[in-house]
């Protein structure tokens, strides 16, 4: 079920009504309702997906219990291995089996022998990369004795399948989200109102910004050989806003929806395009995944301890794994590798922790130096996004070659003025709100007339652009 669909527009108020007006006095009944709603939400794509998520839930639920009961170190490792092996095995099969088969055939073909192996007919379950990482964090944290397992299967199953963030995150940690299913929840108007504002802002980013940019991005990438350099640069920049509007828009809707039910999800994007270097960008982009890799890959590998060579090795490993997590294509690995190359100079010069504050904090405009740094960081990010968007590494390289060929004779990309205006307004609002939780965070201090006028205008613009419900980019991951 898509957030930007009529089905969800009907689904959400129904669940909300029963949650607060029928089962509001019983936490277990509320959790059971959320579990049912989450399975309906996820099964809307295909009921077969429910089998996988249920089995994954069972494996990690019982692995957690056994990890707590067992004190023998060797046996505890076995239970942890079962959880990780099952989740990663399921992920590797559904997401990467064909990738390995195709590259295996290509490698042998290079040496003059072509194996008669065909790709498998596998359909990638929506959101599998997200909920497998979420459940693995549960068993890993129990193994590390950072938390105790739950014996409430309904609560745990609801944590795994919680519909607001199930399909595309944020990737929540059990230590943060799971305890919320055991606390009494009372309706908070101010929390719900802010949730609605964040939902509206998220849908606006998806429908008006991302989906509109997508039309012109598709043109640029599908016929880049005949495009002028300026047109290709424009296409790459528009993709940067497309993927940001699409993914952060989903996160906004997810976080806002969770607030309607009294839950707090972690912030997943913190205005990343206002970053002054790549390290800051990665602290602000897809925060839930970046911190997951930090805590469960980077630090176990040694983190920032040891020699510079080990730090470089650990950093490179995280970026390459992050790229591979995004998809079974060499383009994502190239994207991860390129971002690692951006990051390494900062690491080697010990400057990767320099910009921990908000840019131009307390000021309306940034300094000339800050503007230059943001411009360079954004430019490097856009260059890397070309690999992310391209169908192959060869296409990405060719796209970049045509940019630097400085060809003004090719076709232009005729971007309508309304999109340029929408992007200007969007960037301006995000800049002014960069110290807030989200772009449409409005306090009660702002006059009622201004607040409600903003809601109506934004809702009207979004409704005007609303057409066929387009899937979110990160559903493929």
- Residues serving a catalytic function are 326
Span between the terminal Cα atoms of the chain, in Å: 16
Beta carbons within 10 angstroms of residue 140's beta carbon: 19
Residue with tokens 């913190």: 270
Measure the CA angle with vertex 227, ends 221 and 228; round to 5°: 130
252 contacts: CB under 8 Å, gap ≥ 6:
198, 199, 201, 202, 205, 438, 439
The 3-state DSSP class for residue 155 equals helix
The 3-state DSSP class for residue 227 equals strand
Query: Which two structure tokens, joined as six digits, stand for 24?
Result: 């509001």
State the burial class of residue 110 (Cβ atoms within 10 Å of its Cβ: 0-12, 13-18, 19+).
exposed
Which phi-psi region, left, alpha or beta, contains residue 169 (left: φ > 0; alpha: ψ -120 to 50)?
left
Does residue 168 contact residue 60 with C-beta atoms inside 8 Å?
no
User: Cα 462 vs. chain centroid, distance in angstroms?
Assistant: 22
φ/ψ (deg, to 5) at 88 = -70, -35
166 contacts: CB under 8 Å, gap ≥ 6:
38, 41, 42, 127, 130, 131
3-state secondary structure 47-81: CHHHHHHHHHHHHHHHHHHHHHHCCCHHHHHHHHH
């Amino acid at each position: 079920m898509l957030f930007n669909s009529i089905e969800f527009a009907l689904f959400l108020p129904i669940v909300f009504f029963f949650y607060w007006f029928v089962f509001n006095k019983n936490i277990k009944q509320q959790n059971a309702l959320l579990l049912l709603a989450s399975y309906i939400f996820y099964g809307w794509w295909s009921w077969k997906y429910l089998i996988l998520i249920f089995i994954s839930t069972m494996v990690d639920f019982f692995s957690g219990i056994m990890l707590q009961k067992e004190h023998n170190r060797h046996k505890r490792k076995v239970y942890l291995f079962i959880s990780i092996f099952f989740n990663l095995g399921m992920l590797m099969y559904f997401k990467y089996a064909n990738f390995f088969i195709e590259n295996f055939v290509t490698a042998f073909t290079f040496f003059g022998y072509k194996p008669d192996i065909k790709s498998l007919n596998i359909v990638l379950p929506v959101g599998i990369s997200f909920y497998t990482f979420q459940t693995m964090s549960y068993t890993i944290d129990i193994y590390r004795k950072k938390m105790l397992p739950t014996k409430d299967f309904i609560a745990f199953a609801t944590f795994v399948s919680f519909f607001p963030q199930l399909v595309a995150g944020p990737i929540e940690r059990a230590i943060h989200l799971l305890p919320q299913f055991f606390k009494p929840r009372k309706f908070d108007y101010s929390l719900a109102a802010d949730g609605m504002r964040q939902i509206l802002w998220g849908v606006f980013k998806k429908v008006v910004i991302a989906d509109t940019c997508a039309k012109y991005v598709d043109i640029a990438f599908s016929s880049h050989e005949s495009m002028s350099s300026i047109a290709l640069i424009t296409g790459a920049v528009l993709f940067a806003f497309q993927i940001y509007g699409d993914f952060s828009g989903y996160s906004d809707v997810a976080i806002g929806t969770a607030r309607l039910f009294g839950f707090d999800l972690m912030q997943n994007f913190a205005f990343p395009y206002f970053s002054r270097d790549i390290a800051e960008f990665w602290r602000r982009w897809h925060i839930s995944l970046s911190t997951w890799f930090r805590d469960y890959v980077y630090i176990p590998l040694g983190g920032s301890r040891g020699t510079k060579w080990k730090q470089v090795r650990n950093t490179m490993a995280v970026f390459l794994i992050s790229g591979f997590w995004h998809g079974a294509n060499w383009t994502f690995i190239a994207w991860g590798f390129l971002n690692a190359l951006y990051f390494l100079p900062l690491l080697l010069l010990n400057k990767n922790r320099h910009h921990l504050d908000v840019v131009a904090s307390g000021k309306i405009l940034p300094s000339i130096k800050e503007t230059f740094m943001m411009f360079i960081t954004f430019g490097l990010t856009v260059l890397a996004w070309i690999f992310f968007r391209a169908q192959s590494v060869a296409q990405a390289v060719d796209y970049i070659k045509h940019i630097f060929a400085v060809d003004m004779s090719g076709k232009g990309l005729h971007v309508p003025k309304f999109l340029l205006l929408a992007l200007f307004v969007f960037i301006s609002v995000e800049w002014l709100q960069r110290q807030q939780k989200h772009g449409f965070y409005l306090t009660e201090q702002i006059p009622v007339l201004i607040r409600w006028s903003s809601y109506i205008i934004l809702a009207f613009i979004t409704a005007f652009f609303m057409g066929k419900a387009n899937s979110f980019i990160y559903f493929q991951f």
